[in-house]
Structure formats: C-alpha cells, structure tokens
Amino acid sequence: MSSVVAVETGHEVVGHYINGKVITDTERTQEIYNPATGQVIRHVALASKATVEKAIAAAAAAYPAWRQISPMERARIMFRFKTLLEQHAGEIIALVTDEHGKVLDDARGEFIRGLEVVEYACGAPELLKGEHSKNVGRGIDSWSEFHPLGVVAGITPFNFPAMVPMWMYPMAIICGNTFVLKPSEKDPGAPTYIAKLFKEAGLPDGVFNVVNGDKEAVDTLLTEPRIEAISFVGSTPVAEYIYQTATATGKRVQALGGAKNHAILMPDADMDSVVNALMGAVYGSCGERCMAISVAVCVGDTLAETFVEKMSSRVAALKIGPGIDTENEMGPLISQQHYEKVRNYVDLGVEEGADLVVDGRNFTATEHEAGFFMGGCLFDRVTPDMRIYQEEIFGPVLCVVRVQTMQEAMQLIDAHEYGNGTCIFTRDGGVARYFTDNIKVGMVGVNVPLPVPVAYHSFGGWKRSLFGDLSAYGPDAVRFYTRRKTITQRWLSDSVERAQFSFPDNQ
C-alpha cells in the first residue's frame, strides 16, 4: 500500500497519485522531517505545472462517467472506503505522528473526526434528493435537482493531514464531482496512502487525485479553467490570496483562515474543570490547531489569580516528548522554521511587557535534543495592543487577559479581526444564552473549549476566519459542491392555447 517510490538519488520520495497510479517528479523534491528527531525521513516530490495539469486532465476525463453513477452506487463505494479506513487506521495514525509529530491519541482523534465525514457522505441518496412541488400552476409541476460542478480541488494544511482533506473530498465526490487534492508538503504521507484505499474500495481511476507541491502547484489549481471550485484551510493571508485569485477566474471558493480563539472565564465557573479543559484545548497538538484556545479572558482579578496559579503548575508539568510514546501529552512543533516563529513570538511578548509565568523556550526532550520541541508557555497580564494578543501564534502559548465584566470580555472578542471559535465557562444559563446569542463568532462553546461541529453540521468562522459564503462539510458541503437546477414543466392538452403577453403567474 506504500505511496513511497524509490528514485535514482537513493532517497525515498512520496509521489503523486494520478489516475489510479503513483507517479514521481524528481526535478524538484523537498525534505520531510520527523519533528521528534529533527531528522529527514523521506522526501516529497513537488509537482510541476505540467504534473498538476495531468491530474486535472485525469479528473476531467473521469467526470462524465462518474456524474452519471447513481448516488446509491457512490454510497456503496463510500461504505467500502469507510471499512478500509477503519481496517488501516493504525497505519494512517502512525503516518500522521511520524510526519506531524502529534501524540498518537491526538492523531487517532483526528482520524476519527475525519472518518465521521466519510460516514456522513454515505448518506448521499438522502443528501442529494431534490425538491418537488406539484401543480404550482394549472397543470404545471416544478422541481429542483442538485447537479455536480465538475472538477474541484482542495488545498489543505499541515496540522491535520488526515482529517482536513477528509472534510473535503468525500463530500465533493459523493456529490458527483471529481477531485484534485494538494495536501501540505510537510506531511503528505497520510493523504497519499488513503488515496490508494479509495481505489481499493472501487473508486474509478481519475475520480480522486493527489498532487504534492508548493506555490507552483497551488497557483496552477487557482487559475486552471477546468477547476470549478476550490476548498482551502490555512492561514488568513493565504486564504485571502486564494479567495481573490480563484474568484477572479470565476471559481466558487471556500477559504478557511486563521483564528484567535478566546475563552471567557466567569467567576462562577468550576476552576478545576476549566483548567482541565484548557490544558487540552491550548496545548493539545502543541497548539497547532485553528480551534485552539489561545486567549483566556478572566472576568475579575480574583478569578485571574486563581486561574493563573492553577494553570501554571499544570503547564510546567506537561509531559512532552515523541508522539509515539503514549505517556506524552504534547509532541514537537512541525518544523524548525515554525519552532523559531513561535519562539520569536514568546520573545516578543516579553519585550511587549507581558508577564511570562511559564517559559517553555528552553525545553529539551531527553534523547531527542534535535527535535523541534518547545515547552508550554503561559503569559499573564496581556493587553489588546500587544501583537501576541492580536496575531495567531499557532503554538503552545496561552495569553491571559484580565477584564472586570462580561461585556468587556465580549467587546474584546467582537473587536478582533478573527471570528473562528470561542467559548465561555459558567454555571449560569442566562449568561450562556446571552453569550451564544450575541457574540460575533462562527463556532461557540458553552463549557466546551473546542466547539468543532460534528460531521452533520458545518464548520466555519466569521469575519477574517472565512472567505466565502459556505462552510466546510455537513449540509453546507452539499450546497458548495453542487449547483441547483430548477425545472418547471407542463404537458399541453390537445387544445391550442392563445398567446399570453403578461408575466406568467399561478392564477
């Protein structure tokens, strides 16, 4: 089942998956690291424009036959795919940990959440049913149908190499489209491995293709006329670039961007439960999650003192090391470059005057000194004018902001450029109801720090966290990956009707 190809250089290279076959470009390759060891474990081929166009051509050739296959038959393939994913879960999870670095339990959770979208896609016969109205006028019937778009593409980030692609291609394919995936070149092993499972499930060649690459591959997808729609998850600057570039060529786009997710801590909250919840929400996956809590807004100084005291002892005691060790709670950052970026933010926070209560900058994992490890960091007395508050750090860093009222806390959240996720910890139902009804954020939790919607709802933020009108997976995915056609029909009687020059109505 390997998608790794040996080439003349002697290196192992993760290839592309095009038209049911693994192929490898060797003109340009990039190193793939094990973040826990800091060592190169394989290389990945970076697709040329010609290779991406070959994938698009394969998808375009497969589309006419695939769109004619009944939703029931598509669902049967998807059911078989789900079974194969479950059978090969161990290999997929190991690939995620090997290339991304996250602990095995976190990789398993990512895989399961992606699998849930596959399960939802198995409901294609129900999801794609049209709407029918009889006798909308005298002897006239009207109905709507959901037609696929054609060839669509997805561009996905490094932080969820298995899950985020599964947010996209199962729904696109079940709707009758063909798909070209461009995963992150930092950890491409899982998506290319999964592509072969899809073929084993009975998916025709060309329906699902994977091209690994960098900006050259991305720009080809954004400007290629045969691509009808683009789905993207990543940082806000890139999301905005993708949205503007692809929509300028007439494509439908959903581009999910960055986040600065706040947790409001109310004085009546159970502080031990809050600390337990935020430990995972902040430091899980080393903070490399778009739904990670990165700001704790404490209402009242007394609460803030208690929270910082309890949280600091827990952060200092984090078990950090290689993801394959099941005793560890946090693994490394994805790369040396990203490690330096996060460390520079911590340095900046100190310069800006925030109180660095827990400093993880000098952490070293025993026997893994070359790994990209950082300890958990905790800042207190962060203010909204600081860059560590304004910008997405995407690392194991929590900023504590102190306010005196809930209204002040909500004003902070509403004023921020991002509106991805937020949560509140309270025992007061009235407070929770007011918060959920009025906060200007797309995904909201009450005593739930990571309010990621389940597969049969849809995932998406507000403001500069989402460019486009429709969110990822769930019901929005059916709308995004199809276009509506409405048919109005009448069969004339034998008598000849007179000409009518008024606008038709149903009278």
pLDDT tens by residue, 92-109:
999 999 999 999 999 999
- Look up residue 253 and give its DSSP letter: E
Q: Which of 286, 290, 377, 399 is catalytic?
A: 290
**Top-confidence residue, 504 or 142:** 142
- At the second CATH level, the architecture of 4-257+465-486 is 3-Layer(aba) Sandwich (3.40)
Instruction: Give the model's pLDDT for residue 7.
Output: 44
Instruction: Give the model's pLDDT for residue 2.
Output: 47
Instruction: Give Cα separations from 261 to 141, 149, 347, 380, 391 (angstroms).
Output: 49, 34, 21, 16, 11
pLDDT tens by residue, 428-470:
999 999 999 999 999 999 999 999 999 999 999 999 999 999 9
Mean pLDDT of the region 101-120: 98
pLDDT tens by residue, 141-159:
999 999 999 999 999 999 9
Q: Spell out the domain ranges in the chain.
A: 4-257+465-486, 261-446
Asked whether the beta carbons of 417 and 441 are under 8 A apart, the reply is no
305 pLDDT exceeds 70? Answer: yes
Mean pLDDT of the region 299-318: 98
Compute the distance between CA of residue 377 and CA of residue 364 in angstroms, rounded to an integer. 14
Nearest to 220 by CA among 21, 60, 51, 63: 51
Catalytic status, residue 175: no
Average model confidence (pLDDT) across the chain: 95
Asked whether the beta carbons of 99 and 12 are under 8 A apart, the reply is no
Share of the chain above pLDDT 90, in %: 93
Instruction: Give the model's pLDDT for residue 345.
Output: 98
6 pLDDT exceeds 50? Answer: no
Q: How confident is the model at residue 274 (pLDDT cuts 50, 70, 90)?
A: very high
Compute the distance between CA of residue 305 and CA of residue 293 in angstroms, rounded to an integer. 19
- DSSP code string of 183-251: --TTS-HHHHHHHHHHHHTTPPTTSEEE---SHHHHHHHHH-TTEEEEEEES-HHHHHHHHHHHHHTT-
Q: 261-446 has which CATH code? A: 3.40.309.10
**Percent of the chain as helix, strand, coil, to the nearest 5:** 40, 25, 35
**Global confidence as pTM:** 0.94
Q: Which amino acid is at 499?
A: A
Q: Is 193 left (phi over 0), alpha (psi -120 to 50) or beta?
A: alpha
pLDDT tens by residue, 220-270:
999 999 999 999 999 999 999 999 999 999 999 999 999 999 999 999 999
Nearest to 262 by CA among 110, 420, 117: 420
